């Protein structure tokens, strides 16, 4: 019975290893090994807003009843704190309306920088939103006594979805609006918005790259219940576009958007029938040509009732080019011929507006603003908000898909390598407190360089912001803030590891003999190869080999562990030759089970294997000098057998925890040597 159980255990581990090897990051770094700074304060939780101010070197966080400023260089240094509570009367009135004690407090949900350096701030204030301004002067924060009505500028309660852009563009659950002197909102029709959940608002200065000086665009990302699908309550991902200078119509669509169009956002992944929904958006602007700018997005997918029993949740990253989105809006619109039935519009009228925002051609015809748009055109716009075309990702498919993951936020950094090339490095957070660092190229596709556990307890990351100038990443959960240097290269302990990882931030410093940040360095002092990770330029290494002597008993199985500091697959060599599976040699993801005969004495080497551009890199992790002897007595053999079985149970537990949570990093594991050979076809 014992032998059959152990055999089954071997199969499970080997199958698990092979099924997900291509999906895991190159390296996983647990919380205890991540070099980060953490801010957490007693009685300060429900963090609901975050603002990075590079100009004054401050990080502002808003939560329940207060705003705190931290040093941008070191968030463990609190520079100021200001409280903003609700009065007892406001709290009593809120409780009388049936709200909970916690919800009847003031949650700071909005922090935006104004042109005069003041911070526009709004709070829920017991379901009566209110706004004011904060000033940061001489190292402390003060609050102005004047306030503004917060309805439309902030959510009513702490659990409402909400997003805003500091150009007075706001979004509540049912309405997308512009506040201020030229108030505009969406039409109160489900064909425009059907129970939307806001994700992001982004402004694009499209006029700079427009042939006819077209007005700038705003892009609104959200999910909503589909009006064009007959499946009830089917939620789809959308991107809407409005013209930034829209003033509303005259008589028709007065104080309403006249340029609102929306299209489906497609990120194809998951099983047939699964639902993928937008979670996060990052707008990476192209300073030379805005139409080449990219929207990086995260999606999650949950199995539907028609999925197979083996289906599981998945997440993906998709990227969309701004010009591709614009092209969809120049296409055909859908027409609702009966409730819930939408078909391609085949009307004889072909309206330029709102397919294009106002441009020089329209201005030449007397259409200077949206209030000059003819009523017939506005009436058409009111009844045709939905595009026929679907916005597809730049590659036609996701850049990344991972199973058993719940991606949330994403930020992207443009990194210039030593050869002058630019690389887009993505930081993708999930709902377990981890961030993945990945880079994508047309040649290699997407590589996950590493994943980092930023918070010790598994919890969703709510905010993720990057300071490209200082190279710092800031993230928050509901209770804590973490600061991570994206240019930390100290985890690469050798020149070979530094180059093979192909991390755009890192290079090997010839003078210090360390892997260090490449920013600002010269080619003379730094080695970097992001094309194929060639280690031929590395200085010769004279690391002493760490060999462990081990004595085994004839025909008694024993587990030889191998714990590399990466998630790369391992292989074994015996006396210089590749070790193949056999009745006496069971190869596992974290070691080798050896049931030796007298001919199995010799040197066993465990090494990681990494293939880059057809070149196979081998890194020796640990070596065992195995000596075999006949057992002294029966009881000794039984004892060793029991110990080996216990080791196998440990392996099973480790493997289970790896898939259930995350693989643990083993920084400091012995690194023996590197070798590099061309991969044979």
Distance CA 441, CA 449 (A): 13
Q: Say what the pLDDT of residue 302 is.
A: 65
Closest residue by Cα to residue 623 from 553, 549, 515: 549
Shared-domain flag, residues 19 and 46: no
Ramachandran sector of residue 255 (left: φ over 0; alpha: ψ -120 to 50; beta: rest): left
Ramachandran sector of residue 550 (left: φ over 0; alpha: ψ -120 to 50; beta: rest): beta
Q: Say what the pLDDT of residue 566 is.
A: 93
Q: Say what the pLDDT of residue 591 is.
A: 95
Cβ atoms of 448 and 438 closer than 8 Å: yes
What mean pLDDT value characterizes the chain? 86
Q: Average the pLDDT over 553-574 and give the result.
A: 94
What pLDDT, in 10s, does the model give residues 414-453?
999 999 999 999 999 999 999 999 998 877 788 999 999 9
Distance CA 31, CA 664 (A): 9
* Residue 416 forms part of a structural domain: no
Shared-domain flag, residues 127 and 209: no
Q: Considering its fold, how many domains does the chain have in total?
A: 3
Closest residue by Cα to residue 325 from 226, 172, 206: 206
* Residue 330 forms part of a structural domain: yes
Lowest mean pLDDT among 239-253, 294-308, 503-517: 294-308
Whether 338 shows a pLDDT value over 90: the answer reads no
Shared-domain flag, residues 565 and 658: yes
Shared-domain flag, residues 582 and 628: yes
User: Of all residues in the chain, what percent carry a pLDDT higher than 70?
Assistant: 84
Q: Average the pLDDT over 374-387 and give the result.
A: 95
Out of 404, 437, 455, pick the residue that ends a domain. Answer: 404
Q: Name the residue range of residue 651's domain.
A: 2-24+545-678
Shared-domain flag, residues 342 and 391: yes
Distance CA 667, CA 564 (A): 8
Out of 374, 404, 434, pick the residue that ends a domain. Answer: 404
Shared-domain flag, residues 15 and 64: no
* Residue 443 forms part of a structural domain: no
Cβ atoms of 283 and 274 closer than 8 Å: no
Question: How large is the angle between the packed helices 634-660 and 2-20, nearest 10 degrees?
Answer: 30
Q: CA-CA distances (angstroms) from residue 343 to 258, 348, 352, 376, 384?
A: 22, 15, 20, 21, 11
Whether 306 shows a pLDDT value over 60: the answer reads no
- CATH number for the domain spanning 8: value is 2.60.40.10
Q: Which carries the bigger pLDDT value, residue 138 or residue 52?
A: 52
CA 679 centroid distance within chain:
33
Lowest mean pLDDT among 404-418, 451-465, 537-551, 584-598: 537-551
SS3 of 195-224: CCEEEEEEEECHHHHCCCCCCCEEEEEEEE
Distance CA 221, CA 295 (A): 10
Whether 362 shows a pLDDT value over 80: the answer reads yes
Out of 404, 429, 452, pick the residue that ends a domain. Answer: 404
| 267 CB neighbour count, 10 Å cutoff | 25
Q: Say what the pLDDT of residue 4 is.
A: 30
Closest residue by Cα to residue 302 from 405, 408, 233: 405
pLDDT band for 368, please (50, 70, 90 cuts): very high
Whether 528 shows a pLDDT value over 70: the answer reads yes
Strand 526-527 to strand 506-509: parallel, antiparallel, or no bridges (unpaired)?
A: antiparallel
Which helix (H) or strand (E) is 446 found in, with range?
Answer: strand 445-453
Cβ atoms of 324 and 395 closer than 8 Å: no
Cβ atoms of 416 and 505 closer than 8 Å: no
Shared-domain flag, residues 144 and 235: no
Shared-domain flag, residues 199 and 332: yes
Instruction: Give pTM, 2 decimals.
Output: 0.86
Shared-domain flag, residues 17 and 111: no
Rg (CA), the chain: 29
CA 227 centroid distance within chain:
29
* Residue 413 forms part of a structural domain: no
* Residue 593 forms part of a structural domain: yes
Strand 547-553 to strand 615-629: parallel, antiparallel, or no bridges (unpaired)?
A: parallel
Which residue(s) pair with 674 in the sheet? Answer: 619
Distance CA 551, CA 171 (A): 69
Encoded tokens for 600: 């199995």
SS3 of 157-179: CCCCCCEEECCCEEECCCCEEEC
Instruction: Give the 3-state secondary structure of residue 536.
Output: coil
- CATH number for the domain spanning 346: value is 2.130.10.10
Q: Average the pLDDT over 179-202 and give the result.
A: 91
Residues 6+ apart with CB under 8 A from 138: none
Strand 547-553 to strand 481-485: parallel, antiparallel, or no bridges (unpaired)?
A: unpaired
User: Of all residues in the chain, what percent carry a pLDDT higher than 90?
Assistant: 67
Shared-domain flag, residues 215 and 135: no
Spell 661-671 as b/e; 16+ CB within 10 A means b.
ebbbbbeeebb
- Determine the length of the chain: 681
pLDDT band for 235, please (50, 70, 90 cuts): very high
In the block, tokens 């015809």 appear at: 365
Q: Average the pLDDT over 204-228 and give the result.
A: 93
Q: Which carries the bigger pLDDT value, residue 481 or residue 679?
A: 481
Q: Say what the pLDDT of residue 172 is.
A: 54
Q: Average the pLDDT over 485-509 and give the result.
A: 94
Shared-domain flag, residues 259 and 286: yes
* Residue 72 forms part of a structural domain: yes
Encoded tokens for 26: 């190159």
Encoded tokens for 257: 């958007």
Q: Average the pLDDT over 97-117 and give the result.
A: 94
* Residue 29 forms part of a structural domain: no
Shared-domain flag, residues 270 and 361: yes
Instruction: Give the 3-state secondary structure of residue 391.
Output: strand
* Residue 467 forms part of a structural domain: no
| 276 CB neighbour count, 10 Å cutoff | 23
Q: Say what the pLDDT of residue 150 is.
A: 87
526 phi and psi angles, rounded to 5 deg = -130, 140
What is the torsional sign of CA 483, 489, 492, 497? positive
pLDDT band for 652, please (50, 70, 90 cuts): low
Q: Say what the pLDDT of residue 644 is.
A: 58
Lowest mean pLDDT among 20-29, 86-95, 433-442, 517-526: 20-29
């Amino acid at each position: 019975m014992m032998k059959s159980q152990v055999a089954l255990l071997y199969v499970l581990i080997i199958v698990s290893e092979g099924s997900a090897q291509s999906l895991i990051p190159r390296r996983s770094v647990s919380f205890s090994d991540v070099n980060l700074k953490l801010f957490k304060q007693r009685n300060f939780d429900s963090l609901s807003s975050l603002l990075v101010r590079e100009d004054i070197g401050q990080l502002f966080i808003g939560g329940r009843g207060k705003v705190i400023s931290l040093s941008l260089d070191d968030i463990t240094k609190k520079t100021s704190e200001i409280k903003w509570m609700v009065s007892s009367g406001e709290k009593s009135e809120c409780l009388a309306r049936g709200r909970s004690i916690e919800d009847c407090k003031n949650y700071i949900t909005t922090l935006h920088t104004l042109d005069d350096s003041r911070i526009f701030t709004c709070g829920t204030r017991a379901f009566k939103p209110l706004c004011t301004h904060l000033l940061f002067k001489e190292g402390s924060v003060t609050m102005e006594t004047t306030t503004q009505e917060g309805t439309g500028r902030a959510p009513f309660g702490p659990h409402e979805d909400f997003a805003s852009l500091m150009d007075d563009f706001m979004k509540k659950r049912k309405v997308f609006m512009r506040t201020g002197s030229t108030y505009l909102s969406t039409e109160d029709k489900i064909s425009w918005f059907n129970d939307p959940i806001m994700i992001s608002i982004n402004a694009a200065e499209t006029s700079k790259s427009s042939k006819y000086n077209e007005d700038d665009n705003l892009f609104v990302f959200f999910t909503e219940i589909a009006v064009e699908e007959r499946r009830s309550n089917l939620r789809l991902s959308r991107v809407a576009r409005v013209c930034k200078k829209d003033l509303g119509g005259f008589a028709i669509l007065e104080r309403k958007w006249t340029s609102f169009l929306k299209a489906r956002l497609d990120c194809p992944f998951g099983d047939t029938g699964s639902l993928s929904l937008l979670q996060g958006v990052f707008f990476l602007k192209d300073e030379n040509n805005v139409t080449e700018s990219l929207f990086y997005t995260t999606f999650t997918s949950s199995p539907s009732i028609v999925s197979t029993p083996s289906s599981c949740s998945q997440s993906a990253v998709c990227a969309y080019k701004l010009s591709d989105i614009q092209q969809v809006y120049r296409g055909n619109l859908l027409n609702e011929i009966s409730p819930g039935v939408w078909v391609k519009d085949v009307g004889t009228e072909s309206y330029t507006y709102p397919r294009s925002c106002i441009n020089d051609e329209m201005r030449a015809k007397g259409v200077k603003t949206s209030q000059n748009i003819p009523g017939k055109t506005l009436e058409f716009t009111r009844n045709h908000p939905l595009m026929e075309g679907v916005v597809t990702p730049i590659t036609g498919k996701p850049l990344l898909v991972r199973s058993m993951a719940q991606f949330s936020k994403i930020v992207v950094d443009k990194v210039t390598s030593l050869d002058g090339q630019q690389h887009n490095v993505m930081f993708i957070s999930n709902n377990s407190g981890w961030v993945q660092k990945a880079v994508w190229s047309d040649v290699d596709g997407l590589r996950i360089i590493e994943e980092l556990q930023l918070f010790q307890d598994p919890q969703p990351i709510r905010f993720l912001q990057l300071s490209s100038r200082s190279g710092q990443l800031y993230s928050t959960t509901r209770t804590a803030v973490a600061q991570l240097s994206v240019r930390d290269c100290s985890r690469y302990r050798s020149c070979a590891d530094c180059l093979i990882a192909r991390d755009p931030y890192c290079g090997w410093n010839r003078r210090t003999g360390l892997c260090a940040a490449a920013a600002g360095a010269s080619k003379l002092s730094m080695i970097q190869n992001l094309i194929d990770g060639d280690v031929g330029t590395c200085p010769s290494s004279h690391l002493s080999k760490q060999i462990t002597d081990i004595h085994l008993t004839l025909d008694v199985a024993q587990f030889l562990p191998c714990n590399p500091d990466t998630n790369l697959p391992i292989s074994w060599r015996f006396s210089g030759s590749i070790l193949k599976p056999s009745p006496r040699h069971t190869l596992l993801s974290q070691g080798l089970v050896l049931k030796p005969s007298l001919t199995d004495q010799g040197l066993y080497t465990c090494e990681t294997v990494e293939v880059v551009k057809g070149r196979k890199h081998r890194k020796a992790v640990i070596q065992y000098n195995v000596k075999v002897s006949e057992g002294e007595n029966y009881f000794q053999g039984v004892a060793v057998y029991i110990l080996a079985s216990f080791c196998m149970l440990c392996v099973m537990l480790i493997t289970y925890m790896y898939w259930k949570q995350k693989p643990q990093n083993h920084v400091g594991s012995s690194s023996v040597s590197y070798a590099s050979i061309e991969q044979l076809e």
